[in-house]
Amino acid sequence: MAPENVTRVTEFILTGVSDSPELQIPLFLVFLVLYVLTMAGNLGIITLTSVDSRLQTPMYFFLRHLAIINLGNSTVIAPKMLINFLVKKKTTSFYECATQLGGFLFFIVSEVMMLAVMAYDRYVAICNPLLYVVVVSRRLCLLLVSLTYLYGFSTAIVVSPCIFSVSYCSSNIINHFYCDIAPLLALSCSDTYLPETVVFISAATNLFFSMITVLVSYFNIVLSILRIRSSEGRKKAFSTCASHMMAVTVFYGTMLFMYVQPQTNHSLDTDKMASVFYTLVIPMLNPLIYSLRNNDVKVALKKFMENPCYSFKSM
């Protein structure tokens, strides 16, 4: 049989959040505000935890890197999405799409691991406060953060090439506002069993081990809090972890909903809404959830606003 003439896809068209023309400008303004708030909040956390001598504990060290990850995750997605609200031809090249997916995977997997690391940090701080400085040493902090980024990078360089190793030779319209796994595989004209299996195993493994770390850490935290005799002490210990527990529940719940399910069960329109939440909304909320309710951060922010040129490390 003679070989078929097949036109390979060299660029993709992103449908965006909505294809309704009258919604493009309002949606642009909404997501621009979200992105600006995300930038301001996370850059603020990075700055304060870098210059204030009172914010040099392991908790704020991990928070700084979570802010870096949130900032990177939003920046991989938001600028292209905002541009597409304003242009008629919402195209992205094959290699630009692959790069965006790789960047997204790097930051999202790093965030999954960083949340687990932060849960472990809270476990040691509450369950073993006298040994906290010894156990969570500077060397261990650097090691945990390095392993987090390394694991995120290794996932990105394995999964992203796997997704783009299949053939795209029919439709090139991605039903999404960025290059995500599910809508890309939906366009493939070749067998997607291998990439689907790789994605499922990778996502399930990442979520399983990170969630086990979080659940075990918080199980022990709850037990320790219940042993505290003082009601004020219990309240203070719980308030330290309550926001983190809520954010972890929302984040992991969204990730489980998105990826730990068979490809045939995906609703791409529902996935788009979930993606908005964990690529833009959660990164915007994290600075508020983790630190702006913290008195030390409030004091640091106030002093920094009064004298931004002053380095608190000199104190």
Whether 6 is in a domain gets the answer: no
Whether 183 is in a domain gets the answer: yes
What is the C-alpha separation between 101 and 279, in angstroms, rounded? 12
Whether 3 is in a domain gets the answer: no
| Per-residue pLDDT in tens (0 to 9) along the chain, 315 residues | 444 555 678 899 999 998 888 999 999 999 999 999 999 999 999 998 888 878 888 988 999 999 999 999 999 999 999 999 999 889 999 999 999 999 999 999 999 999 999 999 999 988 888 899 899 999 999 999 999 999 999 999 999 999 999 988 878 999 899 999 988 998 998 889 999 999 999 988 988 899 899 999 999 998 988 888 888 777 777 777 776 787 787 787 776 666 555 555 556 667 787 888 888 988 998 888 876 667 777 777 777 777 766 554 444
Residue pLDDT, tens place only, 119-173:
999 999 888 888 998 999 999 999 999 999 999 999 999 999 999 999 888 789 9
* CATH code of 35's domain: 1.20.1070.10
What sign has the CA pseudo-torsion 118, 243, 47, 79?
positive
Cβ atoms within 10 A of the Cβ of 254, count? 16
Whether 1 is in a domain gets the answer: no
Whether 4 is in a domain gets the answer: no
196 is written with which tokens? 């689907």
What is the C-alpha separation between 243 and 192, in angstroms, rounded? 39
Whether 87 is in a domain gets the answer: yes
Name the percent of the chain lying above pLDDT 90.
50
Whether 241 is in a domain gets the answer: yes
- The structural domain count of the chain equals 1
Domain with 181, as residue range(s), is 11-313
Whether 2 is in a domain gets the answer: no
Cβ atoms within 10 A of the Cβ of 77, count? 25
User: Edge-to-edge, what's the strand order for the sheet holding 11-14?
Assistant: 91-93, 11-14, 173-174
Tell me what the pLDDT averaged over the chain comes to: 86
Contact 154, 109 (CB under 8 A): no
SS3 at position 174: strand
Cβ atoms within 10 A of the Cβ of 50, count? 15
Residue pLDDT, tens place only, 87-111:
988 999 999 999 999 999 999 999 9
